[in-house]
Amino acid sequence: MRWNNLTGIVTPVEHQPERQFSPAVSNLFLDALSGQTGPRPPFWFMRQAGRYLPEYREIRAQADGFLDLCYTPERAARVTLQPIDRFRPDAAILFSDILVIPDAMGQEVGFSEGFGPVLTPVTSQADLERLDPARTLDHLAPVFETVRLVRAELPDDVALLGFAGAPWTVATYMIEGGSSRDFNQVKGWVISEPSAAAAMLGMLVEATTEYLVAQVEAGAQALQLFDTWASAVPASSFETLVISPTRQIVDGVKARTPDVPIIGFARGIGPRLADYVRETGIDAVGLDSAITFDQARELQDICPVQGNLDPAYLLAGGPPMEAAANQVLDQLADGPFVFNLAHGIHKDTPFAHVEALAEQIRDRGAGA
Amino acid sequence: MRWNNLTGIVTPVEHQPERQFSPAVSNLFLDALSGQTGPRPPFWFMRQAGRYLPEYREIRAQADGFLDLCYTPERAARVTLQPIDRFRPDAAILFSDILVIPDAMGQEVGFSEGFGPVLTPVTSQADLERLDPARTLDHLAPVFETVRLVRAELPDDVALLGFAGAPWTVATYMIEGGSSRDFNQVKGWVISEPSAAAAMLGMLVEATTEYLVAQVEAGAQALQLFDTWASAVPASSFETLVISPTRQIVDGVKARTPDVPIIGFARGIGPRLADYVRETGIDAVGLDSAITFDQARELQDICPVQGNLDPAYLLAGGPPMEAAANQVLDQLADGPFVFNLAHGIHKDTPFAHVEALAEQIRDRGAGA
């Protein structure tokens, strides 16, 4: 369901800058992102609001499609807060999707249950010219309202994390028309139509920068950029497709909200992570599970790291999960560190496993 | 279609050791794998026999499913030879699939057009116990017959490359029941059921070793192990899931056919490639497109490398493809090197692009 079908359900709020939320209470997550090491490592879990939670499935069933859920502030706010009530992580992540940006720019975006996102792919210059990044703020007004609602209800010691997809990753969906395994269409397009590709990445930089700044103005206290498919970028295009657009967004956001830390999460880029950190200007870096602890500690010399328990351990639970989580904590919690997963919680994960993991991390502080 | 439905179509051939094919004519591909640098770099292309070729689609349409094509020696041999007739690469790769191994062991394996492989997933100890690696040679007799037919028809200066999937990658399909994006099921299973996982990897090592040795005995002159989903393995499990099974296969094959070079192609493992080469005993290494030229040249100090033009360039064609291919050649052809793609040819690739690339590489020799 598209945003313009939703005016009967949500009350769009005029976009206007607001004061940044400044909690008096210290927040372990924000402290870690500023390079501090607190009494225990902070934690949150990617996709902590999601299908593995029965209370999520209940609200999801009431919504008229996935985007409807993202664009209905009361529901999106409730979903954002559900894992906070259950597990009390140190950060709530806004419930939304990286594909709200192409939706806002005018591309047809849908989600089919069990199959993932389906977009009418951009296949021509005319398709490209129909996209308009200037529509972002109006179209995504419900998301900013969600941010306000969440921040108003969130305990002071829980930070609110906004996010967006990095341009390359969002572009893969826009050109491929959905998920891809080999990314040949989008990569072929970048090669054959470099100026169109540059134009689209430029639009995405513009829209994403506006979107993130508006999230901060509505109450987000930190931001994460997801570059999930950075792994697919050939070495020779890494600067153009990953580094440069990310740096432009970081520069643009920091020019307007300099104090809000930005976490970069470029998955599967292995040895290029240190360059990614240095060249984009991000404040902290998310780690996937292929990153060794040696590499992670080297990165900690440059910036705080976030990660990297493989979500397969959370799916499995029990002593193997406990041992693997302890290993992550033992190896990384002495430096600036946010405990997280290496990617999102799998939908079949028993929430008791998530509860146990949250308790384990909190106990770490009690024992320290 | 399963192997046991095929007895009316193919004539299974008794498995028996045969003399190894020893061409009098020198082969640039085999020379490169032995560390030599010849008058021009040899080349072949992953998935060079495939849907992008009209003559492939014609034979594919006559077959009763994808496995039927793999198991009908006359057809599989024709398909293997099609790209040789068109582009005259320096190696033919046997037309088969990595999933013939679970099929041979007794798992239900099917292929649905446009969706990929569909397997009845292994979900219990009972499922596991029904698998029998000892059936491999009988079940895959048609594949060995294909190898014989191809070797008999192949020009002497074109090498015949056999292949198999590495155990981890094959296991992902066996447990997930098909392609996966996050591999949580198989990774969760490895964590929760380590002894079952070890048993299955052991079966795969046994079946794959037999399968590869039999390919050599039928006429294959080199082998490639595809570990396509090595990228998904957490750092902490890399030894168990990738290195160890690969080393066992390499050891097992070399114990019986010591002179046949083995190319390891573990995709997306970035900084772990050098360890992968050293610890598995493979003779040459395939490179994906995320590998930088600096890293590739460092690897060339250890062993011959094969790669790594992104197939997106082949899809795009024209001057960008030519420039990118020249860059690969300029950077890597001074050392032991086989020109190839970073992964398989995309089905929408115009074959004229492949023709142009083959000509460009051959001209490299003429100009040198």
Single-letter code of the amino acid located at A322: E
Q: Do B348 and A179 touch (CB under 8 A)?
A: no
- Range B3-11+20-367 classified under CATH 3.30.300.10: no
Instruction: Give tens-digit pLDDT for B120-155.
Output: 999 999 999 999 999 999 999 999 999 999 999 999
Share of chain B above pLDDT 70, in %: 92
Alpha-carbon gap, residue A205 to A170, rounded angstroms: 11
Are B98 and B70 within 8 A, CB to CB? no
Q: Do A313 and B235 touch (CB under 8 A)?
A: no
Per DSSP, the three-state class of B5 is helix
The verdict on A320 touching B (C-beta cutoff 8 Å) is yes
**pLDDT value at residue B245:** 98
The verdict on A348 touching B (C-beta cutoff 8 Å) is yes
Strands A116-119 and A109-112, bridge-based pairing: antiparallel
The yes-or-no answer on residue A47 being catalytic is yes
Instruction: Give tens-digit pLDDT for B349-365.
Output: 999 999 999 999 999 87
Smallest Cβ–Cβ distance between A191 and the set B188, B293, B313 belongs to B313
Cα Rg for chain B, rounded, in angstroms?
19
Q: From the CA of A6, how many Å to the nearest CA of chain B?
A: 31
Task: Give the global pTM.
Answer: 0.90
The phi, psi pair for A306, rounded to 5°, reads -130, 130
Alpha-carbon gap, residue A181 to A356, rounded angstroms: 34
The answer for residues whose C-beta is within 8 angstroms of residue A316's C-beta and 6 or more apart is A353, B188, B191, B192
The answer for residues whose C-beta is within 8 angstroms of residue B322's C-beta and 6 or more apart is B356, B360
Pick the residue of B52, B192, B292, B310 with the most A CBs within 10 A to test the interface with A by mutation.
Answer: B310
Q: From the CA of B269, how many Å to the nearest CA of chain A?
A: 7
The verdict on B114 touching A (C-beta cutoff 8 Å) is no
Instruction: Give tens-digit pLDDT for A18-30.
Output: 444 444 567 999 9
Catalytic amino acids of B?
47, 51, 60, 97, 173
Among the residue ranges A38-42, A146-150, B262-266, the one predicted with the least confidence is A38-42
Are B290 and B270 within 8 A, CB to CB? yes
Q: From the CA of B270, how many Å to the nearest CA of chain A?
A: 6
Domain ranges of chain A: 3-367
Fold of A3-367: TIM Barrel (3.20.20)
The verdict on A346 touching B (C-beta cutoff 8 Å) is yes
Instruction: Give tens-digit pLDDT for B267-305.
Output: 999 889 999 999 999 999 999 999 999 999 999 999 999
Instruction: Give tens-digit pLDDT for A67-103.
Output: 999 999 999 999 999 999 999 999 999 999 999 999 9
The verdict on A342 touching B (C-beta cutoff 8 Å) is yes
The phi, psi pair for B265, rounded to 5°, reads -130, 90
Instruction: Give tens-digit pLDDT for B165-215.
Output: 999 999 999 999 999 888 989 999 999 999 999 999 999 999 999 999 999
Question: What is the token pair recorded at A120?
Answer: 């009418």
For residue B368, what pLDDT band results from cuts at 50, 70 and 90?
very low
Set A40, A47, A75, A364: catalytic member: A47
User: Is the bond preceding residue A308 a cis peptide, omega within 30 degrees?
Assistant: yes
Largest CA distance in chain A: 61
Q: From the CA of B104, how many Å to the nearest CA of chain A?
A: 26
Alpha-carbon gap, residue A290 to A286, rounded angstroms: 12
Q: Which residues of B touch A321 (CB under 8 A)?
A: 191
The yes-or-no answer on residue A334 being catalytic is no
Smallest Cβ–Cβ distance between B315 and the set A184, A342, A344 belongs to A184
Q: Do B312 and A234 touch (CB under 8 A)?
A: yes
Pick the residue of A184, A238, A241 with the most B CBs within 10 A to test the interface with B by mutation.
Answer: A184
Closest-CA residue to B100 (of B174, B11, B176, B175): B174
Q: Which residues of B touch A313 (CB under 8 A)?
A: 188, 191
